[in-house]
Amino acid sequence: MLSDYRRIFSPAGSLLFSAAGFVSRLPMSMIGVGIITMLSQLGGEYWLAGSVSATQALATAAIAPQISRLIDRHGQRRVVLPAMAVTVAAICALVLCARYAAPEWTLYVAAAAAGCMPSMAALVRSRWSEVHRESPRLLHTAYSLETVLEEVIYVVGPVLAITLSISVLAEAGPLAAAVLLAVGVLLFAAQRRTEPPVRPGLQRARGSALRIPGLGLLVLTVTSVGASFGSVEVVTVAFADTHHHKALSGLLLGVYALGSGLAGAVFGAVRPRGAITRGLLVSVWAMVVTMAPLLFAQSLAALAGMLFVAGMAIAPTLITTMGLVGRLAPASQLTESITWIVSGLSVGVALGYATSGLVVDAAGASAGYGASCAAALLAASTVSLALPRLARADAQ
């Protein structure tokens, strides 16, 4: 089974663009927490740090699909390089504004401009789709690999940003994100051999990829999925604090990510069977079932085991969703379509942070997992109701 992971790298240049994509995606897990750490280290209040970081995240969710639409029309290299340049300049401007105590509104403007960060996750998957267009099995494995790598990114990136900003220089976290973005994008853009060609059909097309039947429903689904595991992060920190071991919250979330990563690795090595819509339905309902025990955790040890099991449903859900997008969206709009999924996920995580925090404040840490379960149930219900609209993907 593991031979598929070797085979996906058989085409020339595939290992290089995947490695460059890994480097260029690290900043997406660093910039938010890097902004918060930087501003708090420089004496700013947490509400300011959080709202500036949220501005960057929401701007990215709104702008990234538009950048990806331009990429589909004009090619990756022509668009991603100027988008990267704007983002790096905006991060540098944000750092300077923070360092020299510029008016608060300048922080928000710079953070919004940093939202021009291109969706490298979408660009990498678009290249895999082009490389393995004739082999759905290998494409499934490639998507699985990228999902596992993103689990690693979201474990390593925040730790790197926080450590740099606390131990080296307050501005070091965001600056490191800017450097990694520039280096990663330059290396990625240099891989011309694997760049997907511009599809002539899109140059005549008008309108958003959200008009593709079924795509909007998938975006709603992943928004709920994002809200579910976003709320898990907040509630887990609160739960560990309630049990007087807040420092262990990072380890607990690492166990959660480990469950997802291992499940994704195994899922990618198994030949897909049956209808892809049924696979998505099973995975989202598995999220509901595995999230429910979190409501009854009584100790950190028990919670760790429950989080590991709950994490195992995440990667298969995201991998299957990306596979569905590949079937629903025409090649000429694939990058934009994937970016809408990524944006929906990001918005969901932000909503999960906010709603779970309110529940924890009102009813306590354990009750906070109710928000996680409710979001997972909403995702499963959306897929169940959307099956007729998604069914055409099974025929492809």
Q: Are residues 214 and 186 in the same domain?
A: no
- CATH number, residue 44: 1.20.1250.20
CB atoms within 10 A of CB 163: 14
342 part of a folded domain: yes
Nearest to 358 by CA among 239, 231, 223: 231
Q: Are residues 191 and 224 in the same domain?
A: no
Q: Are residues 243 and 359 in the same domain?
A: yes
Q: Are residues 272 and 381 in the same domain?
A: yes
Query: Tokens 């490639």 appear where?
Result: 142
Nearest to 41 by CA among 176, 175, 171, 178: 171
Given 195, 217, 248, the domain boundary residue is 195
pLDDT for 293 equals 93
Q: Are 366 and 295 spatial neighbours (Cβ–Cβ below 8 Å)?
A: yes
The boundaries of the domain holding residue 76 are 1-195
Q: Are residues 75 and 152 in the same domain?
A: yes
Grouping H, G, I as helix, E, B as strand and the rest as coil, residue 101 is coil
298 part of a folded domain: yes
pLDDT for 203 equals 46
Distances (CA, A) of 163 to 35, 172, 273, 359: 13, 9, 43, 30
Tell me how far apart the terminal alpha carbons of the chain are, to the nearest angstrom. Answer: 24
pLDDT for 308 equals 93
Q: Are residues 219 and 190 in the same domain?
A: no
Q: Are residues 42 and 189 in the same domain?
A: yes
Mean pLDDT of successive 10-residue stretches along the chain, which has 396 residues: 78 89 89 82 76 84 88 89 95 93 91 91 88 83 84 80 84 92 94 81 60 86 89 81 77 84 83 78 93 91 93 89 84 84 85 79 82 92 84 58
Q: Are residues 17 and 119 in the same domain?
A: yes
Given 140, 169, 195, the domain boundary residue is 195
Distance CA(289)–CA(292), nearest Å, equals 6
Grouping H, G, I as helix, E, B as strand and the rest as coil, residue 181 is helix
Nearest to 305 by CA among 315, 313, 297: 297
Q: Are 133 and 94 spatial neighbours (Cβ–Cβ below 8 Å)?
A: no
Domain count, the chain: 2
Q: Are residues 151 and 258 in the same domain?
A: no
Q: Are residues 9 and 45 in the same domain?
A: yes
258 part of a folded domain: yes
- State CA 337 to chain mean position distance: 14
Q: Are residues 89 and 167 in the same domain?
A: yes
Q: Are residues 167 and 215 in the same domain?
A: no
Q: Are 161 and 18 spatial neighbours (Cβ–Cβ below 8 Å)?
A: no
Q: Is the pTM of this model over 0.75?
A: yes
172 part of a folded domain: yes
Q: Are 379 and 320 spatial neighbours (Cβ–Cβ below 8 Å)?
A: no
pLDDT for 197 equals 83
* DSSP 8-state assignment for residue 333: G
